[in-house]
Amino acid sequence: MDRGQLQRRGIVSLASPKETVARASRATSGTRPLRIHGMLAMVLLAIMVLPLTTGCVAMDMDWGAPCFSKADCPEGQICILGTCTAMPDFEVDVEIIPLPTHEHMAYPVHAVDLYSPEALQIIVPSPTVVSGNLQIDTEPFLRSAQLLFSTEVDLRRPQRHSVEVGGENGRDSNFEVKLVASMLEQGQNRAIPYSVTARPLEQEECCFDDDAACPVPFSMSGVTFPSDVDNLFLAFPDNPTRISGVVLKEDGASQPNVKVLASAANGTIHSLSVSTEENGEFCLAMNLPKDGRDTPVKLRLTPTTFETPSPVFEHEIIVTAGRANRDIELTIGDFDSHQLLEGFLLDKQDEPIGNAVVSFHGEVGSGGSLSATARTGSDGGFTVELLQGDYMVRAIPPASSRAASIEQHGFVLDLDEDGSAPSPLVIVAPDRPPLTGKVFGPGGEQKPMADVEVIALRESAASKSGPGVDAFIVQTDSDGSYELRIDPGPYRLYFKPPARAGLPRMVGPVVEIELGVSQGLTPIVLEEPAFVEGKALGAAEDGLTVPLAGARIEVHARKRNSTYLLWEGRAEDDGTFEVLLPKSLAARVETFPQE
């Protein structure tokens, strides 16, 4: 079946690369070319998985019998370019981001039904208005506080709305916030649950007084807004858990000027930070459940007198929720005895590695832990302030370096007899192993593709595989070849053709990189382009709609726990837009002929 037959059957709009360049230019008019920089590589990725095979890489599809429409295919398959194929195991999400001049807000659409002829005809609802009052002890809260409304669902662009209330000059405690209350998911309207957090902006002196009303940060989760709300009353808890005590040096002397922050062991509840007084005393309050149970709490202590990145001590204590917990003694190392440790990071050729991150984490003092981080200069040198202790050292060179990230345990810092740090620490990093391959254009000619951005993105499940940079990028040369130097661990490969090629982005295989092992990949063949039309409209009064001219449109692909930006552009004056997609994906938007 040739291209003309397919187009006449209404299955999909195909375009040659030459035609595509012009159309892609129109589809992204008003936007600057997308570029990748370091950690932002994730936003320039495609979606279809290419398995490692012998010979060229083909799309991960189960191709079957010839067809004219989905009705010709077995259950669980669709008709793509005249052939029955297994349905891809991913979902497509779309987000409309109106201009600041629009009254509408960013709107997510999950699991777009691409089988619908109007799959990308999206109407953005008007924002929901939520207003109310913040109180404490049944009285309006007139001091400064911040309210944060944040989404609890996995959106591509999480909604976060902040508003300040109270304060000086007789302002009242009323608030008003506009937010997106619902989203489309598989064609159905779904309420978005929000987490609402109230946080005083300054610590009150009320903590030491058990009878005083003392505002502490608190949160409510799972809050939905089916319609406008004008009476949402929020109240600071009237009986927070109070924790007071003293921070001491190992010799028993008081330790002033230490910032103390408390959090529940699960990290979901936090206090405001306070500083110890001249006698080392502190008092803070937090909103733990008032059930009288013994509850583990982590205290994070940071000195405020360090010039370089400050070390951090962490202690875990047990408190009784809903009551006053007094006379907590925390003994830590003497901050005044800290020393500057100098060091150098070198590669295997004894060349300095600049702009690398070097971090230390160790056990010091009486049960506390200390963390400090520094960045290397052009000579590979770094300086950190540490206390005597046993440390894990981690060094992460920049993505542009040939040197691999390294993690070493058992570094013991013993001070010299005069109390100074030992000689400079020298860290030598091994080489990153090379990953090589080749990229070809679509079609049977297998023409090498130059200037294709090849991106290696660390898999989310790789967090336990050791230290490393999350993304690496390189461009193919004139014969389509590339070489990536990557830290050990699993990575997903992505391919972004140059804009002049008019080709869609693609996703390659997952590769496992091992230290000291060179790998060569099977050649990658890029996909042919296709286009899908859409329209972005905003809801107006009396059931009418208005075009969201200039709104940014993002099309994402979601596969398991990973999400990739497949296309980004802007709507025309009438709200229409045209999305450049891989042929195998765009064919899912086929319009079936009437029988």
- The DSSP line for 222-240 is EE--SS-EEEEEEEE-SS-
Question: What's the pLDDT score for residue 25?
Answer: 47
Quick one: which H or E segment has residue 569?
strand 562-570
| Two structure tokens written together for 448 | 């090498």
Other Cβ atoms within 10 Å of 502 Cβ, number: 21
Averaged confidence pLDDT in the chain: 77
pLDDT score for 105: 87
Q: Are 160 and 147 in contact (CB under 8 A)?
A: no
Q: Which two tokens stand for residue 328?
A: 């907590």
CA atoms within 13 A on the CB side of 564: 27
259 vs 276: CA distance, rounded Å: 7
Which position has the token pair 């998911």? 185
Specify the amino acid at residue 501: A
Task: Please give the Cα distance from 506 to 527 (Å, whole number).
Answer: 7
Distances (CA, A) of 296 to 262, 269, 320, 471: 10, 12, 9, 37
Q: Is the Cβ–Cβ distance between 278 and 235 less than 8 Å?
A: no
How far apart are the C-alpha atoms of 140 and 434, rounded to whole Å?
Answer: 63
Task: Give the C-alpha separation, 46 to 566, whole Å.
Answer: 5
Amino acid at 479: D
Give the residue among 539, 546, 553 at the shortest CA–CA distance from 128.
539
Q: What is the pLDDT along the chain (595 residues), one digit of tens a residue?
A: 333 333 333 333 334 444 444 444 444 443 332 222 222 222 222 333 333 333 333 334 444 567 666 677 777 676 655 667 665 566 788 889 899 888 888 888 877 766 566 778 889 999 999 998 888 877 888 778 889 998 877 666 677 888 888 755 446 788 899 998 888 887 788 888 998 988 887 766 778 777 777 888 888 888 888 888 888 888 888 778 888 999 888 788 888 888 898 888 766 678 888 889 999 999 988 888 766 678 888 888 887 776 665 667 788 888 888 788 888 888 776 666 677 889 999 999 999 999 999 999 887 766 667 788 899 999 999 998 887 778 899 999 999 999 999 998 888 877 665 656 677 889 999 999 999 999 999 876 779 999 999 999 888 644 444 566 788 999 999 999 999 999 998 998 889 999 899 998 887 788 899 988 999 988 888 888 888 888 999 998 888 999 999 999 998 877 766 777 788 899 999 999 998 888 776 655 543 333 3
For tokens 């297994």, name the residue: 86
Rama region for 280: left / alpha / beta (φ>0; ψ in -120 to 50; rest) = left
Report the alpha-carbon distance of residue 533 to residue 403 in Å, rounded: 46
Q: Cα-atom radius of gyration of the chain, to the nearest Å?
A: 29
- Nearest Cα neighbor of 507 from 46, 107, 92, 147 is 46
CB-CB contact of 114 with 128 (8 Å): no
Q: Residue 24 is inside which H or E element, if any?
A: helix 17-27
What pLDDT, on the 0 to 100 scale, is given for residue 370?
Answer: 78
Q: What are phi and psi of 2, to 5 degrees?
A: -90, 175
Q: Which residues contact 157 (CB under 8 A, 6 or more apart)?
A: 95, 97, 106, 108, 554
pLDDT in the model for residue 439: 94
Instruction: Measure the CA dihedral 391/395/396/402, to 10°.
Output: -150
Please report where in the chains the tokens 């080749």 appear, as a residue.
438
Q: What are the residues facing 386 on neighbouring strands? A: 339
φ/ψ of 323, rounded to 5, equals: -130, 175
pLDDT recorded at residue 306: 67
Query: 334-392, pLDDT tens digit by residue?
Result: 666 677 889 999 999 999 999 999 999 887 766 667 788 899 999 999 998 887 778 89
